[in-house]
Structure 1
């Protein structure tokens, strides 16, 4: 998978020099619904997705073929609820991990009319966690906060990588509404006996110049 990511990145750079006239750039924003995979069954955690993106058409391959890449700030994590059967305490905690993510996708776009196009893209991503926070609650009240969640034997690794996809609709050659998902292919937990892999579903709105 790492070799595939490197090859796609090189293809994108070569294509950028060769087909600069087909390059567009813009911004995207939306919401993440994160629910990691591994040794825990958590609830979904909502977070923001903000970033810049580029889109490079490659008509020499075929009409509608393009590469899609970006630089995104992506909030991931989860919520876990538990209780105390003795005194009926309701407790939960949240883990928030904020990543700088670079997705590099290959896609195809179909023109349905002069104003509307459908698109889909798929490919790898790489990310690095910039900061994170653990919050514990009892009966709706916060009683503990921990900001250093990346150090120690049971902390999180900062680097993450995986694959993802997006499908959506483009309107008037500028506006893009899309749904996507990312799956981590790396265990980001430092603990040897614990598995934690990021997984998130995204709804976003973008604008391309």
Structure 2
């Protein structure tokens, strides 16, 4: 946890330094629909069938204009990830919600084009790095009319039952900017396996995926 705090402080300090050179800033927030991508491989069988859950994201980006079309847009984003699953077998129901919270650092190359006075369309893409901050697994089970609820903190680390704290991926999106306001949609494609399955299961993958709907304001 101490290492995580140090990393976050370094990231924030670096972003504050970047801000002093930016032409403008974009405050953004919106709804996230995270999910897990699972490739079971040849000899690992997952019992859960994960689905999208509803989350949120919020953050700030700095804009560095490169030319009339392109700009570089580094940012800092608090993002909720994870997924949910539901099983119902022979009268036993089990619902699980895995909520993971990350500090993401996207580095976007953004291309924009004016379609009328004060209205632009844009597309953006680039890599991102994520640092896991916290997480919970919320489990609701029911059998013969008796319901039980349990909540467990997610453990971060390198042990088999833990989740890797650092994540890398690619993010891309598109949208519409009207004056100082914009709305858009994006997708985060996790590249790194966040699980700690032992080395003899190299073909197993467990990765984050996030669909985002975002609104923002440029100032």
**Partner residue in 1 for 2:28:** 28
Q: How far is the alpha carbon of 1:191 from its aligned partner?
A: 1.9
**Partner residue in 2 for 1:69:** 74
Alignment of 1:87-98 (within 5 A): 88-98=91-101
| Aligned pairs, number | 186
- Structure 2 unaligned residues grouped into runs of 5+: 1-14, 41-45
User: What is the TM-score normalised by the length of structure 2?
Assistant: 0.79
Contact 2:108 2:125 in 1 (8 A): yes
From 42, 47, 56, give the equivalent of 2:50.
42
Q: How far is the alpha carbon of 1:36 from its aligned partner?
A: 1.3
Instruction: Supply the distance in 2 between the matched residues of 1:122 and 1:167 (Cα, whole angstroms).
Output: 9
Contact 2:105 2:129 in 1 (8 A): yes
Matched, 1:156 2:159: no
Q: Could you say if the C-alpha distance between residues 141 and 159 of structure 1 is closer, same or farther in structure 2, counting changes exceeding 3 Å?
A: farther
**Partner residue in 2 for 1:114:** 117
Contact 1:95 1:133 in 2 (8 A): yes
Q: How far is the alpha carbon of 1:131 from its aligned partner?
A: 0.3
**Partner residue in 2 for 1:103:** 106
Runs of 4+ in 1 over 4 A off after TM superposition: none
Matched, 1:185 2:195: no
Instruction: Describe the SS at the equivalent of 2:162.
Output: coil
**Partner residue in 2 for 1:175:** 181
Q: Could you say if the C-alpha distance between residues 141 and 166 of structure 1 is closer, same or farther in structure 2, counting changes exceeding 3 Å?
A: farther
Alpha-carbon displacement from aligned partner over 1:7-62 (angstroms, at most 9, x marks no partner):
xxxxxx9xx79xx5x71113100011111111353111111101111111112xxx
Q: How far is the alpha carbon of 1:142 from its aligned partner?
A: 5.0
Contact 2:160 2:195 in 1 (8 A): no
User: What is the TM-score normalised by the length of structure 1?
Assistant: 0.83
**RMSD of aligned C-alpha atoms?**
2.0
Q: Could you say if the C-alpha distance between residues 112 and 142 of structure 1 is closer, same or farther in structure 2, counting changes exceeding 3 Å?
A: farther
